[in-house]
Amino acid sequence: MVQVKPRSLPHRHSNDHPHDQPNDHLSAPLMQNHFETPQEIQAQIYKELVRATHDRHHAWRTPVLATSATDGIPNARTVVLRTVNPAQNMGVSNSTPNNPGGTLEIYTDRRSPKVTELQQQPEACLVFWSAKLSWQLRVKVSVSIQTEGPYVESLWQTVKQTRAAGDYLGLLAPGQTLVADSEHVGSSLAPAEPDVHFAVLSAQINEIDWLELGRGQHRRARMGSLGNNTGWGWAWLQP
Ligand SMILES: Cc1cc2nc3c(=O)[nH]c(=O)nc-3n(C[C@H](O)[C@H](O)[C@H](O)COP(=O)(O)O)c2cc1C
């Protein structure tokens, strides 16, 4: 891993999460000096991603997923980050040497246009921004779509107990044009046992472009295989 520091920073090592500090909303600018080395920054990125799956108020809980539409025009929409299987090289299990960046999971209706887009072009990008962290992530991913099997079934057994279950039980597909008032609500016509359209988008992380906005200086780095066949690497970039 290349570890060239773009500038020297005062070492203020801290494992504290910035959200845990008093006057949290005022403390964001302090964050940027806490993590200096590639290892520290990457570990914190994955910690924050995991945290976002548990914390409804974390800004990284709702990234934007950008895909290539079937006509070649980009498409993007907000989604909820449901699960993070962090990278092995972050010292956390659940990833394999073939998947050094780990995976992110999103739930969707399998009939939604994004699923068709991803079937045709699995390469996509997830964009996260947190004003509290002053960090943007642009995560390049390869997305696979899971619609059946024990894993999807076990997730659905949990999701179906929640209010969100209806998102995957609609009579009409997302984006379908409504032609009559009755279709607008649909519930009165809904069958007792509606079809389940629940799907899991499993996004394998190939590369992360990290940008930190600082008061005076910004920092930026790219991490991933970086095309040099040396495994997961790190490169500081001009912001
Ligand atoms: C805060 C927020 C969270 C959302 N989360 C999801 C989600 O997790 N999965 C999903 O399929 N759509 C989610 N949506 C709806 C999508 O943004 C989008 O409108 C819908 O999925 C249809 O997208 P498509 O036509 O590109 O497939 C969310 C929207 C908002 C505003």
Provide the CB-side half-sphere exposure for 3 (13 A, CA).
8
Task: Render pLDDT for 17-75 as a digit per residue (tens, 0 to 9).
Answer: 444 333 333 344 445 558 999 999 999 999 999 999 999 999 999 999 999 998 889 99
Of 56, 65, 73, 80, which is best to mutate to test ligand 1, by the most ligand atoms within 8 angstroms of its C-beta? 80
Atom of ligand 1 nearest to the CA of 77: 17
Tell me which of 15 and 58 has the higher pLDDT. Answer: 58
Instruction: Give residue 77's region: left, alpha or beta (phi > 0; psi -120 to 50).
Output: beta
Give the per-residue pLDDT at 13: 35
Give the per-residue pLDDT at 192: 75
Task: Render pLDDT for 198-226 as a digit per residue (tens, 0 to 9).
Answer: 999 999 999 999 999 998 899 999 999 87
Q: Whose CA is nearest to atom 14 of ligand 1?
A: 79
Instruction: Using the mean position of ligand 1's atoms as its centre, give its distance from the Cα of residue 78 in Å.
Output: 5
**Percent of the chain having pLDDT more than 70?**
75
Give the per-residue pLDDT at 89: 52
Tell me which of 62 and 96 has the higher pLDDT. Answer: 62
Instruction: Using the mean position of ligand 1's atoms as its centre, give its distance from the Cα of residue 193 in Å.
Output: 24
Sign (positive or negative) of CA dihedral 138, 144, 148, 152: negative
Residue ranges per domain, the chain? 35-171+193-237
Q: How confident is the model at residue 119 (pLDDT cuts 50, 70, 90)?
A: very high
Mean pLDDT of 189-205: 88
Which DSSP category does 89 fall into?
A: G
143 vs 200: CA distance, rounded Å: 10
Which DSSP category does 138 fall into?
A: E
Least trusted range by pLDDT, from 105-109, 141-145, 170-174, 224-228:
224-228
Superfamily of domain 35-171+193-237: Electron Transport, Fmn-binding Protein; Chain A (2.30.110.10)
Average confidence score pLDDT of the chain: 83
Give the per-residue pLDDT at 11: 34
Of 53, 56, 78, which is best to mutate to test ligand 1, by the most ligand atoms within 8 angstroms of its C-beta? 78
Instruction: Using the mean position of ligand 1's atoms as its centre, give its distance from the Cα of residue 76 in Å.
Output: 9
Q: How confident is the model at residue 96 (pLDDT cuts 50, 70, 90)?
A: low
Atom of ligand 1 nearest to the CA of 78: 17
Instruction: Using the mean position of ligand 1's atoms as its centre, give its distance from the Cα of residue 2 in Å.
Output: 37
Give the per-residue pLDDT at 98: 66
Mean pLDDT of 188-193: 66
Q: How many DSSP H helices and E strands does the chain contain?
A: 4, 9
Least trusted range by pLDDT, from 95-99, 121-125, 143-147:
95-99
To the nearest 10°, report the CA torsion of 178, 152, 90, 133: 30
Mean pLDDT of 141-159: 97
Instruction: Using the mean position of ligand 1's atoms as its centre, give its distance from the Cα of residue 124 in Å.
Output: 15
| Residues flanking ligand 1, CB < 6 Å | 62, 75, 77-80, 106-109, 112-114, 174-175
Give the per-residue pLDDT at 70: 81
Q: What is the DSSP string of 57-88?
A: T-GGGSPEEEEE-TTS-EEEEE----EEE--G
Give the per-residue pLDDT at 6: 52
The answer to pTM > 0.85 is: no
